[in-house]
Amino acid sequence: MLPAEYVSEIVLPTVNEYLAAMGDRRRGYLACIASYHVRDYLHRAEGVGKLEIDRRMREKCAISFDVVEGISNGSKHCGNDRGDFRFAPGAEEVVLPFAFDVGGGFDHSRWDVPGLVVEHDGHRLLVDFCLCSVLWSFGALFPLHLGQIDFSAYRDRVPGDRGAS
């Protein structure tokens, strides 16, 4: 299977299922697992080591890539003991959509939809933003293999990354 086939047939439908139900832990974990393993398909197609794929991704979206990698490995292995983000299943927090008269305060909710939040490197990060950043970064960095896929909808979901290549 080529990288574009894997992304089109497996990754994007899995991520889209999570984006339609962002408070769903199972879908979030599966979306991270599928997305992280794009690196394996690119490794074979590019003929470079996986660490080279990782290096390129970290230059573009280090924190998001760390989160996706950490959730992928941590959820599969009852926690992970390698990488920069040591994720343990269940360590994420579900944040609810903002509503008046609901506990949590402004910094513990989202405006419109629920989501999963993890803490990494002193930042509270929404898993959906990390996934979208990783997806459009794969597309931007590897156009030879993924150029026919339109990642703009994912790029546009990431605050601060709108309009980036």
40 is a domain residue:
yes
164 is a domain residue:
no
Its domain, for residue 21, covers 3-155
121 is a domain residue:
yes
67 is a domain residue:
yes
> Domains in the chain: how many in total?
1
pTM for this predicted structure: 0.87
Q: How far lies 2's CA from each of 54, 65, 144, in Å?
A: 19, 21, 11
Residue-wise pLDDT tens for the chain (165 aa)? 999 999 999 999 999 999 999 889 999 999 999 999 999 999 999 999 999 999 999 999 999 999 999 999 888 877 777 667 777 778 888 887 754 444 444 444 456 778 899 988 888 889 999 999 999 999 999 999 999 999 999 999 887 754 443
161 is a domain residue:
no
